[in-house]
Amino acid sequence: MTTLAVLEQYSALCDELDQYMNEENSHLRESGNDQSLLVDRKRQILEKLNDALVFLRQAGPVKTADHTASADVRKRVLAKVLKLLLLSRESEQLLFKNSVRNAPRVETPPPTPARLATTYKTQKQTRPASTEPQGSWSVW
């Protein structure tokens, strides 16, 4: 398989990942949780991407004749990856926001007089005796 064909395959996988991430993002906006079906599909796409990366490494450098075509494919892939990073960040923020919203609230018990006394209890520390009274200025 030529390097250009592997790049085209990688571009198609990025398109598939883009479609998936758009579905995931809209699902997170609507329902607010991540379903296991979406996670399984994401794992399948990531396995395909890892395989494509292995093929890219094995394919080697691009032939001189295919250089302009591969440059176009690489630009498309780079633009898609940057878009996916932004979409991933937005989905991550939605997941975090929804997990905080659905988390159980922890109520602190009302303070008791004994707890307040221990909280605000001051301990006097013994200081070594000095020749100068505390808080005075020393003159040179």
3-state secondary structure string across 33-87: CCCHHHHHHHHHHHHHHHHHHHHHHHHCCCCHHHHHHHHHHHHHHHHHHHHHHHH
Report if residue 138 sits inside a domain: no
Report if residue 52 sits inside a domain: yes
Report if residue 126 sits inside a domain: no
Would you state the pLDDT for residue 39?
79
Report if residue 120 sits inside a domain: no
The total of structural domains in the chain comes to 1
Report if residue 117 sits inside a domain: no
Would you state the pLDDT for residue 128?
60
**Average pLDDT per block of 10 residues along the chain, 140 residues long:** 83 90 86 70 87 85 78 89 92 82 74 83 60 58
Cα separation, 100 vs 94, in Å, equals 10
Would you state the pLDDT for residue 104?
72
Report if residue 127 sits inside a domain: no
